[in-house]
Amino acid sequence: MNLQTVLDVKVKEAVNAVFGVALPNVEFQPTRKDFEGDITVVIFPMLRWVKGNPEQIGAKIGSYLVAQVEAVIDFNVVKGFLNLLIGDDHYLQSFNAIREEGHYGYIAPSETEAILVEYSSPNTNKPLHLGHIRNNLLGYSVAEILKASGKKVYKTQIINDRGIHICKSMLAWLKFGNGATPESTGLKGDKLVGNYYVAFDKAYKMQVAEAVSKGVDIKIAEREAPILQDAQKMLLQWEAGDEAVVSLWKKMNAWVYAGFEETYRNMGVDFDKLYYESDTYLLGKDVVLEGIQKGVFYRKDDGSVWIDLTEEGLDEKIVLRSDGTAVYMTQDIGTAIQRVKDYPDIDGMVYTVGNEQDYHFKVLFLILKKLGYSWAKNLYHLSYGMVDLPSGKMKSREGTVVDADDLMAEMTRTAASISEELGKLEDYTIAEKKELHRMIGLGALKYYILKVDPKKRILFDPEESVDFQGNTGPFIQYTYARIQSILRRADAEFNYGTEVKNLADGLHEKEKELLKQLLQFPETVQLAAENYSPALIANYTYDLVREFNSFYQQVSILGEPDLQKKIFRVQLSKKVAEVIQSAFHLLGIQVPERM
């Protein structure tokens, strides 16, 4: 039982013993730097139940805690804040308890409590772009955080491999491709197919402009452009199972999948199962028909099927068209149900999708609840804001999208340029430099994106993200490498494996502050899992690194003459490095042994 849990029990016990009141909860916060203390109990919320002067209430609770909790050695009250001083022995004992603990802060995954996390879910008519990077990094990181918090996790995506946009790329390849392949062009398959999606749009706009120049109304020109009609015809052929169209679809999709796989590998993300829209787009229709009988849905005069959600503050939503064809909502209903059939142990799902789909997921989750699925209460939309670059908004059809591969390559080049300027890699081989630059560049990209709350929009600045100072990935990686240097020297000089139980003069202030930050890691992992927020992990790690660097600057480690203090400081540094590595693992970021 950690100290805050003990204090929670004891504060409630104190309020009951002294004031005769059963307190429902206790609010804690770290003591402000300008006050003396380590943990603060906030008295103000108690005034709903305990009547009196906040300072007097705090003083009585503080006296009770000093008498009842060994770790609490003193207290002070500042207005409505009870600041508790925690003894050095408690921190030293807590450190010794975690010193050799592997995967400190992680809980072994449950065998029964499982959750499915969906992310990426691209279209097969273009390569992954900057928006996909944020999606993938968020989804993958949340999956890893949930796993570390004690959940069994399945990582998945649904690939949007059918529809008019796919046919546009296929048709343009037939018209303009001259049999081009990834092998013949030297292009990744997803980039090759994406080029034909852009080519289609260019040809379409030319046809529209030509028709308008001849006096055709622009809306008619847009609707009746020959190349668009050909694409619509191709879609109908695909749906009818036309052998030649389906064969071309399979060939071009295979090119794209190979390209995606390379991008995912470079990005450092993976999946346990892939779903394809071409397999799922008919799912859900039978569920809708059952829902009509249950009174969840209703049929209009034209034969279309709807649900009325006006009582819930939403609107009416169509789930089947009048011709019996499904809409995206129908597919998503069917796919969610199919996933529970595929993974019977899951009791929740996380959908990593941009905030433009907020309304869609409110409706989806509500429909599934109304259909009576118990797991529907545990569905979560991991909504996130757009990522912008200083150059402005991206448009796929016009070919102005920031390509994911290109951005990752640019980050590596930027890291290489800055590293060379710092001039600390003289003894590295070319291969070692290349790997380090990749690690720093990708670490910079991932950290810059993940340190921001998912719901916020990001203006991504590649140069700023690779800064070796401030709240950046490279700054944290550099601190990790610095600690590894200390440990290598300590390994060569003395044995620091023995447990330290007593320190002359107690803990230095900087040791204590660093320990306090270190001991918050398990709680931070749980909090990040509850909030589906990698930003909590990222910013915790930055705070830990700042605390370590303050410790490093003000306290001698290997130069300390007292052997016990030196051993403890090396052990403390080692544990900090392990937590940095563990935290960065949850963000999908690697840490270098040297920099």
Residue 500 token pair: 């330290």
* Distance separating alpha carbons of residues 123 and 159, to the nearest angstrom: 6
Say if 265 falls within a structural domain.
Answer: no
* Distance separating alpha carbons of residues 70 and 87, to the nearest angstrom: 8
Residues 65 and 204 in one domain: no
Residues 421 and 561 in one domain: yes
Say if 412 falls within a structural domain.
Answer: yes
- Residue 391 pLDDT: 64
- Residue 420 pLDDT: 76
Say if 102 falls within a structural domain.
Answer: no
- Residue 426 pLDDT: 75
Say if 69 falls within a structural domain.
Answer: yes
Task: Decide which of 52, 86, 120 is a domain's last residue.
Answer: 86
Residues 432 and 518 in one domain: yes
Taking alpha carbons only, the member of 481, 445, 467 closest to residue 588 is 445
Taking alpha carbons only, the member of 555, 542, 479, 541 closest to residue 510 is 555
Residues 60 and 179 in one domain: no
Task: Decide which of 65, 86, 107 is a domain's last residue.
Answer: 86
Full strand arrangement of the beta sheet holding 39-42: 28-30, 39-42, 81-86, 72-78
Say if 391 falls within a structural domain.
Answer: no
Find the angle CA(363)-CA(270)-CA(438) to the nearest 5 degrees.
120
CA atoms within 13 A on the CB side of 1: 7
Task: Decide which of 52, 69, 86 is a domain's last residue.
Answer: 86
Say if 371 falls within a structural domain.
Answer: no
For residue 292, the one-letter residue type is: I
Say if 239 falls within a structural domain.
Answer: yes
* Distance separating alpha carbons of residues 4 and 40, to the nearest angstrom: 10
Helices (DSSP H) in 214-352: which residue ranges? 218-224, 226-239, 243-267, 277-280, 285-294, 328-342
- Residue 1 pLDDT: 67
Range of the structural domain that residue 20 is part of: 3-86
* Distance separating alpha carbons of residues 62 and 347, to the nearest angstrom: 43
Residue 303 token pair: 């034969």
Taking alpha carbons only, the member of 574, 572, 580 closest to residue 541 is 580
What is the tens place of the pLDDT at every residue in 138-150? 999 999 999 999 9
Say if 121 falls within a structural domain.
Answer: no
* Distance separating alpha carbons of residues 330 and 307, to the nearest angstrom: 11
- Domain holding 27: CATH number? 3.30.1360.70
Residues 176 and 67 in one domain: no
* Distance separating alpha carbons of residues 51 and 49, to the nearest angstrom: 6
For the chain, how many structural domains are there in total? 3
Predicted structure pTM score:
0.92
pLDDT band at 400 (very low <50, low <70, confident <90, very high): low
pLDDT band at 236 (very low <50, low <70, confident <90, very high): very high
What is the tens place of the pLDDT at every residue in 185-226? 999 999 999 999 999 999 999 999 999 999 999 999 999 999
What is the tens place of the pLDDT at every residue in 486-513? 999 999 999 999 899 889 889 999 999 9
- Domain holding 445: CATH number? 1.10.730.10
Residues 172 and 77 in one domain: no
Residues 410 and 523 in one domain: yes
What is the tens place of the pLDDT at every residue in 38-91? 999 999 999 999 999 999 999 999 999 999 999 999 999 999 999 999 999 999
